Structure 1
């Protein structure tokens, strides 16, 4: 079945997935086949009176499936051809001996859902319930009927009813939950994976710590033993292999989440955070009791993520690598708006109700409980009640599918042995990797190695900045060797001018980072963790305590060691709990308070501490993740401080397709004293470049707009222009001689006036840079000569 579903998508897709009989012959083992509803192949032949052709078809199916092929009787009053089809199926049963069974053509679960399905079809087909010609089921019989209901419809076929039950009992799919499907890393000379991992870890250890770091040595031995006991050596080696490739190709990367707490990963060169220095807890990532695979989530510069995917495909096999599907479901507001269209209601009425749904409400039930106005409208207006009832029935239904932004699977065998595959979702058609039809949680439960390969624009910005520095100024910077104690970078953070800095761009974050005035990476990490729903309410206290304006206190003296580095404030998820599972947290309140009392706390104290912890269940970051992201934030602050032109050029080049952020970055350049030179066929590159012809005495310098920043002009058009200019010098007359300005003035006159035109254009550029208006502004300079026609006239 997995093979058929996969190949129907990859090879037979035409508007919908399809298979042919040759494919069915190849993968028939273990399948049960029924003749189908009134629209299926055999019933259609019977409805058309082609009994002999139908008999030939059922003979083919019987030969293919043997005793696992059945003729299917159905009863739906509003399908006029069904009685005749059923009579012919009974005849086929007598003529061929193929057994009969009875089924109901079910399109929804319960009979009362008929009206909801009608509205849903309207949504899918772009019609509404008032359209008499719409596609619809004629009655409410298309649900899963009980055995008693089926028996009442087919009283003369008790044996067929029994066979239906036998077939249902015979349907069993075993997907192998709980098994591990780790890919095997091919070690040199087939060396044992644990031994090889240990050897390369100790090599990295000596580079990171030398030979005399006892604390690090003890931690390394412990972590290696945990990896060995949990049988994850191959997993670590696969990640090491990927990162080794990434380093060789000079692709910038980072690691998110609790993986940064591992000294093994640090010594393998997979992370750049020393877990001892930042007191990161390894057990948060992996421990002896953990059964599921730990997460090693990797970020890559987003313009080169596909290179990493291609490497993984080449290394481990295209049939063993896939991206993961994600299902977008109908939220409460979307459900209201879609249902409103399906019901043929006015936009204004629907919009009024949709606006009553609080943004934080995950369901319409939540919204009705949270907003009295919505509840009153629901109870007093039958039309609105019908709208909400239908929307409640449809919210949560899959609305669309897409490719998960980061999820990638790597397996030890062809993935179609475990999961069905399909082509990437719309918008990702050019991806080199197929996509699973199971989402993130099911593939994890199937024991497949699930990795996060996230494309991060800020890493692309850093990479382009580093390359610009090398190309333009001969400065080579290795992020791994960059110190984390640059005072000027921290001074920049303290001003709050953190636009275009990773994780620190929002107005609220700018305000808080200015008040905090961070002095080390730990402060940055703490603010990233605090600036989230739940922990956010503790920001002011954290800032006051850091600067000595409030005494540091602890919920209980026993929590001092845990909270001393964060001034008595719970900042990180790992200070509060093991894993962020909100449902489990809610269940643990009574146990927690009882345990606190058993440890000598009062019941009130236990409750207060739990109340401090509970908000972290849904939103808080773990410390390793915060430190990892804080490191990238620091790097962006460092480059914006010391290499502003190169950094902002890279920012603008990475935001050309994001209008709002692009405009904000242009405004930030202006605030910083960086001028923006207009596009110039003789000065602009493909992307933003540093204009070396401009004197920096009045500011930080000038960036020249790249030609691709001009709307509707792409790289395909720009690259030849820049290449020609580079090879043969500036453009001076080609367009004029080719007649490009013939509609404005005679060609000979324009060519004759070129010297004057260039002189005026250069003067206008100088005027613009000095703040004056000119030929391209709102008013003309009296010395400019005016329009092209006026310039030509003055030259003749």
Structure 2
């Protein structure tokens, strides 16, 4: 490898990447090299990758070859968010206009060409044609492209299903324009992490522009254009699971046990990890939490690390389209003999039981069976890649046949080998990618199995990411023994945290509509806060804001001759004078009243109402309804006559004690019932740590013969059953021939529903739109995998607040 790197003069490239990785280590930012770089022993020795390519028998030519005539491709996975941005800004500082390039910038991000797609095209065309917004919303929902498109699903049919008259001229024009602008460029965006480096001034050879994000410069070309020009690129990719693992490890290592766990040196072959994977208990676990992965894990029964590598690659379009999944699983279970198309392929395919699963295996097959060099094999991969050319493919097939004839392979054997290569090369997943991902699968499963409180806290703090909404993660955590404590203005931080007793305290970040600056001000619980915020509030742009309704539209806010402000929205008037300073409480730093909270944190009325509704003000001595009753007084501050210690010339006889008694006056409203608290939780935080919505309807559902999710695996295969729940995922994969897969959640867990194409056609609107479903169908229990094949789909009205779902992704 070193000889080839020297010959191709690539040492500087490797050292730049090493410099990035070294910076991450110095700044305590978790980093892992991924992609074809994992095939390189040099990358492993430099600490760029964590996968041993010799031990994994990975193919170096997949990473670097003399014949390719292009730069190697190294992807660096970083924690998404601020930590990744620090690394990107470091590159701009070191190699940008103000760093090591006095004459001009040497680094910039590549662009993405954003095109018109289903929903975005519908909204744009709808606006141009002045179609009413509510109708545009309905159009956008039906114009969405699924992964799989039913030939019967015409535009006319979809429009009729949502009650839109297709004969209206404006709708016909809409349909024609919508089809015409599909995939046309809309605007330039930033690539997720591709950074181009240049030895001289970058703006001498490519056009640059300032990005909308501060401190970023973007090349006006996409990554393919840059590759065609031979520009050097490193991908700094933000991966949510990297942030989760780093945050969870920080929580674990910072505990009382003073552990020193890290990504590379986690205890190997942990039985609890493999038990969790074998049972498909994988909600929240990287790469293996989808329905398809959950359906495969019990069949695969992973027992060692390489099994995870296989699992990551198995549920991909390549193995599915190439019909590799079932033969591999049958051979693994001993139901089918392990065979090879030719004896020379046994060393290549032995680890995957004679079934080609990885891109590297296809390249090795070409090298062994047809005598290709490493560079020729890489040329084959590119010929069958995304931008495949028929002419080039025919040339490569001709070379394959000629090469195999020289090796003495011909006839049906040669055709079988060629078919496996040509049908798989487009979708084949690199083994190096699988190995890097498998390490993150193992790490996330290990943390979930042994440190669930830390794992789920890190997951909740790094949303959005993964396959499931935080509401589902909270319920899954509770089923794994994690206890949650509600949001409390006296105790909660902005982010979720693990308390000393192991319980997870929800953070203020989950309060819907709460500004981050206000949430952090509450969490700081500083005795000297924003005392005048309620009297003279301003938006982030410096404009006045009505303290009652939150209006920041300058045209609706007037300044009166008396130096007060008047809101034309809610007819509220307030003074510009700063309020009297609330007495500090250095001994506790706690809030003594709602007024104290408002004054010190500068809350708006809507924010205060949300906090009251979710019970975050209960520590101040109220139940939820009483707090809602009291907040009106808190957002109507006293005028200048009251500013002197709450007593002005008109109210000399009004003292602090009487005022406090008035505030604490009992509310005439009855406390919220459990269903009302549930609705308030979902309205205020989009989740609940209380009972699941289905738990409140369980007595009624039990009378209707509806089983719980946990009852299904104990049932009899082939039995007719009923199951109900909140819809948390809807999928229609391109490889499933029109079948739709639903995931329902109840208070005991999740159940998987299979919907036939004809049934989906019949119940389409219910399946797509209903938040809660009752399914009647046939129970299927095969090889440890439980599902219900739907026969009837019923919308479960009034089941509870609408859950967030992961639809058709």
TM-score, normalised by the number of residues in structure 2? 0.58
Q: Is 1:461 matched up with 2:244?
A: yes
Which deviations, in whole Å up to 9, do the C-alpha atoms of 1:671-722 show, x marking residues without a partner? 21222211112332221112335xxxxxxx5311112221222442233333
Size of the aligned set, in residue pairs, is 526
Shift, 1:386, TM fit: 8.4
Aligned to 1:599: 407
After TM superposition, the structure 1 stretch with the greater mean CA deviation from structure 2, 437-446 or 747-756, is 747-756
> CA–CA distance in 1 between the matches of 2:124 and 2:596?
58
Q: Secondary structure at the match of 1:450?
A: strand
Q: Distance in 1 between matches of 2:153 and 2:448?
A: 49
Residue of structure 2 aligned with 1:500, choices 258, 261, 284: 284
Change in CA separation of 1:285 and 1:237 when aligned onto 2, cut-off 3 Å: same
Q: Which residue of 1 aligns with 2:487?
A: 679
Partner of 1:412: 199
Q: Establish whether residue 552 from structure 1 lines up as the match of residue 338 from structure 2.
A: yes
Distance in 1 of aligned mates of 2:3 and 2:597: 75
Q: Give deviations 1:280-319, integer Å, cap 9, x for gaps.
A: 1111101222311010111111131111112212222331
* CA-CA distance at 1:371 after TM superposition: 6.4
**Maintained 8 Å contact 1:501/1:633:** yes
Quote the Cα distance in structure 1 between the aligned partners of 2:519 and 2:144: 49
Task: Calculate the aligned-residue CA RMSD, in Å.
Answer: 4.2
Alignment check: 8 A CA contact 1:336 1:350 kept: no
Q: Does 1:308 align with 2:109?
A: no
Shift of 1:549: 3.4
- Aligned CA distance change for structure 1 residues 349 and 446 (closer, same or farther; 3 Å): closer
1:649 is matched with which residue? 457
Contact 2:38/2:49 (8 A) holds in 1: yes
Match of 2:300 in 1: 516
Within 5 Å, give how 1:328-477 maps onto structure 2.
Answer: 328-331=114-117, 359=147, 394-425=181-212, 429-430=213-214, 432-473=215-256, 474-477=258-261
Q: Return the index of the structure with the highest Cα Rg.
A: 1
Report the CA distance between 1:493 and its aligned residue: 1.3
Q: What is the correspondence of 1:263-302 to structure 2 with a 5 Å cutoff?
A: 263-302=41-80
1:735 counterpart (563, 584, 594): 594
Match of 2:361 in 1: 575
Instruction: Look up the SS of the partner of 2:73 in the other structure.
Output: coil
How many angstroms apart in 2 are the aligned matches of 1:348 and 1:725? 47
Mind listing any 5+ residue stretches in structure 2 that lack a counterpart? 98-104, 159-165, 364-377, 528-585, 599-626, 635-653, 679-687, 698-809
Mind listing any 5+ residue stretches in structure 1 that lack a counterpart?
1-222, 362-366, 694-700, 779-796
Whole-Å separation in 2 of the counterparts to 1:350 and 1:642: 46
How far apart, in 2, do the equivalents of 1:309 and 1:738 lie?
A: 38
Q: Map Cα deviations across residues 402-436 of structure 1 (whole Å, 9 max, x no partner).
A: 100111111111211010111215xxx23x22001
Question: How far apart, in 2, do the equivalents of 1:330 and 1:244 lie?
Answer: 40
In structure 2, the CA distance between the partners of 1:751 and 1:475, relative to structure 1 (3 Å rule), is farther
Residue matched to 1:781: none
Tell me the residue number matched to 2:111: 325
Q: Are the counterparts in 2 of residues 534 and 620 from structure 1 also a CA contact under 8 Å?
A: yes
What is the CA-CA distance between 1:514 and the residue it aligns to? 2.6
Residues 184-227 of structure 1: per-residue CA shift (max 9 Å, x gap):
xxxxxxxxxxxxxxxxxxxxxxxxxxxxxxxxxxxxxxx00010
Matched residue SS, 2:345: helix
Q: Is the 8 A contact 1:733 1:751 kept in 2?
A: no
Give distance in 1, aligned partners of 2:122 and 2:451.
Answer: 50
Residues 671, 603 of structure 1: alpha-carbon distance in 2 compared, 3 angstrom cutoff: same
Q: Which has the higher strand share?
A: 2
SS of the residue 1:436 aligns to: strand
Secondary structure of the 2:490 match is: coil
Find the residue that maps to 1:328 and give its secondary structure: strand
- The equivalent residue for 2:470 is 662
CA–CA separation in structure 2 for the residues paired with 1:489 and 1:679: 32
Deviations 1:709-767 (A, max 9, x none): 2122244223333333797436262436789948689984795699999xxx9xx9xx9
Residue 123 of structure 1: aligned partner: none
Query: For the residues of structure 1 that align with 2:17 and 2:597, how far apart are their CA atoms?
Result: 57
What is the CA-CA distance between 1:442 and the residue it aligns to?
1.7
Indicate which of 517, 520, 540 corresponds to 2:326. 540
